[in-house]
Amino acid sequence: MSENKKYNIEVRVWIEEAEGAFLGIGKIWLLENIKKTGSITNAAKEMKMAYRQAWQLVEEMNQRAESPLVEKLLGGKGGGGAKLTEAGERAIEVFYEVEKRIKEFALKETQNLKF
């Protein structure tokens, strides 16, 4: 009764829709950075991610949501930009809320794991 390794339960949460994965932690981070920086370009830089991929993720989200999460502004002063819609703001909150509850539940299950 001495050398006991520590094990803990990890949980990954995401939200699906008929067509497939809709919203996971990666897209949430992207939403947060778009909110913070005001554009997909700068959000991508912040995350050291290619603009191309960030743009694709935004497309996916917008198409799979009932109403778009990100509003894109084309051209104009500063070339345009992107900002969260009401639905986008709510999505962040809802996701974190759900994720938090599930992770807390998982943590409780961690007691006494042995292998």
Find the binder of DNA among 3, 18, 78, 112 (CB under 7 A).
78
Give buried/exposed letters for 76-105 (b at 16+ CB in 10 A, else e).
eeeeebbebeebbeebbeebeeebeeeeee
80 binds, among a second copy, DNA, none (CB under 5 to 8 A by kind): DNA
**Does residue 31 contact residue 69 with C-beta atoms inside 8 Å?**
yes
> Closest separation between CB of residue 35 and DNA, Å?
12
41 binds, among DNA, a second copy, none (CB under 5 to 8 A by kind): DNA
Which is closer to DNA, CB of 20 or CB of 75? 75
